[in-house]
Amino acid sequence: MKLRRYLFGLLIIATVSCGNSSGREKSVETAHNETVLQEPMPVEHRKKEMQQPPIKPILLSEVQYIQLVADFRTSDKKYKGEKPCVVDFYADWCRPCRMMSPIFEKLAGKYGDKVNFYKVDADVSPNISAAYNITALPTLFFIDSKGVTNKIMGFMSEEEMEKAILTIIE
């Protein structure tokens, strides 16, 4: 009998001491009438949940290039997009292209809501490169919403690329 009282007392003490001591937990009853304690979500986690994933450049095939940018097979090559865009012509074997890729992705994340960012692998889509007489990699096209294109060949620093992006944003 004393043992039962002793165990019952320990059970009560354990229940009280493990209860809501911080004042921050919230209890929720489940469908099976079980009570579950939940910690409130920190503010920084709530902000992260509401943020969109970063925008990344889109790798275009020849068909996609024709649909989204311009029909390189025609003489006028009129820009089809509504927003300005940046097109990065690159190759996997090109060291300056590989060095510039993280910069391009970072700026796509920063300006992706105002500018479309595309990549074209010159080895996979040689017809596009030939149509624009691209002889050096990397080559970037900065196209404003009116279709005016600024062609820049060679490696660009982050500052240079960002400056070129800002010139096509209206």
What pLDDT is stored for residue 23 in this prediction? Answer: 46
**Residue 133 included in any domain:** yes
C-alpha distances out from residue 50 to 46, 114, 167, Å: 6, 20, 30
**Residue 68 included in any domain:** yes
CATH assignment of the domain containing 136: 3.40.30.10
d(CA 35, CA 33): 6
Number of domains into which the chain is organized: 1
Q: Taking 50 as the threshold, does the pLDDT of residue 28 lie above it?
A: no
pTM for the model: 0.70
Q: Residues 6 or more apart from 90 whose CB is under 8 A from it?
A: 97, 100, 101, 119, 120, 121, 122, 137, 138
Query: Cis peptide leading into 138, omega within 30 of 0?
Result: yes
**Residue 144 included in any domain:** yes
Q: What is the mean pLDDT of the chain?
A: 82
**Residue 15 included in any domain:** no
Residue predicted with more confidence, 19 or 83: 83
Q: Which domain covers residue 144, as residue numbers? A: 58-168
Q: Taking 80 as the threshold, does the pLDDT of residue 83 lie above it?
A: yes
**Residue 101 included in any domain:** yes
Which residues are annotated as catalytic? 94, 97
**Residue 49 included in any domain:** no
**Residue 87 included in any domain:** yes
Task: Check: CB of residue 164 under 8 Å from CB of residue 140.
Answer: yes
